[in-house]
Homo-oligomer: A and B are copies of this chain.
Amino acid sequence: MTKGTQADVNPDLKKERLKCNFNIQEVTFIIDGGKDKTLQRKKIEDVALNIAASIDEVPEECLNLKERYDNAVRKSCVYSNIVKNELLEITGLEALGSPGLRRTADAFFKDVSPFMLHLGMFVPTIIGQCTPEQQAHWLPKALEMQIIGAYAQTELGHGTFIRGLETTATYDPATEEFVLHSPTLTSTKWWAGGLGNTANHCIVVAQLYTKGQCHGTHPFIVPIRDLDTHEPFPGVKVGDVGIRMGFNTADNGFLRFNQYRIPRENMMMKNAKVMKDGTYVKVARHEKLTYGTMVFVRVTLVMEAAFNLAKAATIAVRYSAVRRQSQPKPGEPEPQILDYPTQQHKLFICIATAHALQLTGLWLWRTFEAVLADMRKGDTDSLPELHALSSCLKAVSTSDSAALIEQCRFACGGHGYMLSSNLPLLYSFVTATRTYEGDYTVLLLQTARFLVKAWEQAESGKVLTPTVAYLACAAAKEKVVWSDSVDGMIRSFQAVAAGKIAACAENIKRLTKTGTSLEDAWQLSTVRLVAASEAHCRAMICQAYWHEVTRLTASCSASVKIVMEQLATLYLVYWALETTGDLLRYSTICESELNKLQLKYEELLALIRPNAVGLVDAFDFRDEILHSTLGAYDGRVYERLMEEALKSPLNETSVQSSFHKYIRPLAKGKL
């Protein structure tokens, strides 16, 4: 099932692997974040993937909704047992969110586990929002799977604007309880993963009322189903939200309360408390701390975007090495489609972007840990910058990754449209991450606020924080001198970002001067502000990516250094060519330099070509994790397509019942 014997490998793939001129394992170590990480990951994979329970006899998409759900629960339970009984020994508790675990989960779940939010949001929120005593109460139960939780914030009527949530939690001092209530249809909780039929507990975000006063939204731990019978409690209406583009085994649910009571202790009280008598007490630094959790989740999503794009790139590159099509030279054999420059143009940027996002993610992670350490010392100054950075990185990485996964699918022609290629499911999963945990536009506008403020500081000569330090140079308002060296390109991208931010600030100034309110001026500039944020983010990724490549290949073999740098350069040149309009406006680049850049790009494609299969092999995905007929290590593409097709229930009988019921009567004119 994994790499199989060399004998079975498609001869074209075999040749590709012989051509590869660098040490694949070295690149794997870099991508995993170090040799120790790779070894741990492989150990986890060996334990978890050594059992048959992860494999579906029939592809889960062939089942009906109930069967799919039940099958997903089955696998979730088996998987939870493996995690509890075997994996946590290897990794320790903090590794719950580790890439090693993340990867093995993907072998079990092509789509999403109904338990995902339990470990992904329920447990972390308990850690983040509960007092130590509350943690002592809830955490062991949650980790032992004695309770299963969901996280319900979004309502039918509100997602982005959390302050607008309508669910209320009103404190009743007589009984020392909170009364949860859903006053309107739009206040129905909607979307929470695991909530529909699985969870027996749920973190509910509601407007807190006590002593007749509203204190805004707060989280509560709410038991919703009987632990023994699993029946919803009276006053709780819970169910499935209906079918979705993806996430169809994630069990996204809705939830309504009718004057439903929970004990006072179920309010998560780390950041704010309600005393027995109903007095509300706020704990300091509430907001900045919540920032912290948000940043954590976003860093995870950046890595997730990289991870899934790497899968798509692996599938499409391997398939393109096996697929032969067309005859550009009469009489010669059909070339591997990987030999077409247009195909390389589609695919190599995907490999490079997976590297860029992964290394930027790891870098952000380290930065985040440093900020956390500062926070423990009481210093939260870097948090706004980190928040701004993580916002735009989350937005751009999920969006880029989704778009490029589609590009991988297109590159596989019709066969990419088969679900068994796994490309459609990868897309439907990643495109959702563009929306949840902060909508793309909304996040970029958050970053834009930070950028415009920073620009005003730059203009008034104040010291800038590291990620926006480049604004200082740009305040001089001269075009940056173009050069196609890596540094020159990064400086140009920064000049573009600075130029766009400055233009936004100017536009806002112009409008307010002529009598527009500041809010309206901001609104009227939002289309440009989004573009400015994107430019800032691109410059940041380019800088972080190159920085990390340099750092991480410092002690590598020469050939690894070369190929890693080729990819990173490709990324920079690609984005320069995508943004020629910006470069012409904010740098001195001229026609002949643009032509040179195009040639350089085409040269890089040719240079990377012989190492393409090696580069995707270096992502080191086991076949069980890729779930792809087109992308398996051995390249038995056509055999797998056929094998997978034959599993369809529609191939069980040679004639379907609808023939007798409808088609024949129709043909005989007797319908």
Contacts and interface: CB of A to CB of B under 8 A. Distances in A.
A663 B70 CA distance: 10
A231 B64 contact: no
A419 B243 contact: yes
A343 B445 CA distance: 13
B239 A662 contact: no
15 contacts: A74-B662, A77-B662, A77-B666, A156-B641, A160-B413, A161-B325, A163-B327, A242-B418, A242-B648, A246-B417, A328-B523, A341-B526, A410-B434, A410-B440, A580-B585
A80 to B, nearest CB: 6
Interface string A409-450: 010011011111000100010011011100111100100000
A88 B345 CA distance: 48
Interface in A6-65: 59, 61-65
B417 A244 contact: yes
A656 B114 CA distance: 13
A342 B530 contact: yes
Interface string A202-233: 00000000000000000000000001111110
Interface string A308-331: 000000000000000001111100
A65 to B, nearest CB: 5
Contact of A656 (B62, B73, B585, B646): B73
Closest 7 CB pairs of A and B: A580-B581, A581-B581, A64-B64, A245-B424, A73-B658, A242-B645, A240-B650
B436 A342 contact: no
A667 B199 CA distance: 12
Nearest to A657: B70
Contact of A417 (B161, B245, B406): B245
Nearest to A81: B671
A198 B651 CA distance: 12
Pick from A70, A406, A642 the residue with the most CB of B within 10 Å.
A642
Interface string A507-547: 00000000000010011101110100000000000000000
A334 interface: yes
B325 A667 contact: no
Contact of A585 (B160, B445, B584): B584
Interface in A123-146: 144-146
Interface in A626-658: 638-639, 641-642, 644-651, 654-658
Contacts of A228: 664
Interface in A586-642: 591, 594-595, 598, 601-602, 605, 638-639, 641-642
Nearest to A665: B77
Interface stretch (A183-191, A357-365, A378-386): A183-191
Contacts of A171: none
A527 B345 CA distance: 7
A307 interface: no
